[in-house]
Chain A
Amino acid sequence: GQNIDQPTEMTATEGAIVQINCTYQTSGFNGLFWYQQHAGEAPTFLSYNVLDGLEEKGRFSSFLSRSKGYSYLLLKELQMKDSASYLCAVRAPSGSARQLTFGSGTQLTVLP
């Protein structure tokens, strides 16, 4: 089975840096995704890690440690529009299936 844990809520200030952690215990692993979801809208893809290390994409970076079953999403220079839910998702083991198992999401509130 899959078990994914992330904090329920976080608050940060505009311009600051915030790190959202995700830990997972899965029966197989074939990549970890981070998605951003504004209330009532579709999740949008932010980042993908399959190997250990840091992936940087502008203001967003994502880190993975497969041995620790741990990932984080780092958001820099926070903007008000970054207020959203951030979803950590693990992809099923390799094969024909490609479904994602999502964590419950971390609701980030950015304050002025």
Chain B
Amino acid sequence: DSGVTQTPKHLITATGQRVTLRCSPRSGDLSVYWYQQSLDQGLQFLIQYYNGEERAKGNILERFSAQQFPDLHSELNLSSLELGDSALYFCASSASGGPTETQYFGPGTRLLVL
């Protein structure tokens, strides 16, 4: 158990819909990262937040957005869903203070778009 929690574990929805994935980082971690893992793309970095502010953007579609709240939990919003958005979505957190900056991953949310 990494200490990172994600809800829900599974999500099934239809094309065109909107969903929200939630992540709580490890206690004391200020930085949150979102990754998407699909069968053909591997683990892809989407976006990073540090202490409520966006720090880096990766391969995140315009239909996707995220935020980090004052209590440091984060939400990833996926809208106008397409079949190709079906994937595992992982959240990771790190302390953003030490030299090793290891990221610890949550259990993931498995999204299926039908």
**A42-B101 contact in complex given A97-B55, A99-B48, C-beta closer than 8 Å:** no
- Which of A44, A92, A104 sits near B56, CB closer than 8 Å? A92
Q: How far is the CB of A65 from chain B (nearest CB, A)?
A: 19
With a CB–CB cut-off of 8 A, which chain A residues contact B88? 40
Which residues of chain B from 98 to 114 have any CB-CB distance to chain A below 8 Å in the complex? 99-108, 110
List the A residue with the shortest CB-CB distance to B47: A99
Residue B42 is within 8 A (CB to CB) of chain A in the complex: yes
A42 contacts B2, C-beta separation under 8 Å: yes
B contacts with A, residue count (CB < 8 A): 28
With a CB–CB cut-off of 8 A, which chain B residues contact A40? 88, 110
Taken residue by residue from 42 to 62, chain B's Cβ proximity to chain A (1 for < 8 Å, 0 otherwise) reads as 111100101000011010000
**A98-B101 contact in complex given A42-B90, A42-B108, A43-B90, C-beta closer than 8 Å:** yes
Q: How far is the CB of B45 from chain A (nearest CB, A)?
A: 4
Residue B31 is within 8 A (CB to CB) of chain A in the complex: yes
A104 contacts B42, C-beta separation under 8 Å: yes
Residue A29 is within 8 A (CB to CB) of chain B in the complex: no
How distant is the Cα of A11 from the Cα of B80 in the complex, in angstroms? Answer: 41
A87 contacts B48, C-beta separation under 8 Å: no
Which residues of chain B from 20 to 38 have any CB-CB distance to chain A below 8 Å in the complex? 31, 33
A98 contacts B103, C-beta separation under 8 Å: yes
Q: How far is the CB of B64 from chain A (nearest CB, A)?
A: 15
A42 contacts B107, C-beta separation under 8 Å: yes
With a CB–CB cut-off of 8 A, which chain B residues contact A33? 102-103
With a CB–CB cut-off of 8 A, which chain A residues contact B105? 35, 42-44
With a CB–CB cut-off of 8 A, which chain A residues contact B107? 41-42
With a CB–CB cut-off of 8 A, which chain A residues contact B68? none
Residue A70 is within 8 A (CB to CB) of chain B in the complex: no
Q: How far is the CB of A7 from chain B (nearest CB, A)?
A: 14
Q: List 16 A-B contacts (CB under 8 A).
A: A31-B100, A40-B110, A42-B4, A42-B90, A42-B106, A43-B105, A45-B102, A48-B102, A50-B99, A87-B43, A92-B56, A98-B31, A100-B33, A100-B45, A102-B45, A105-B43
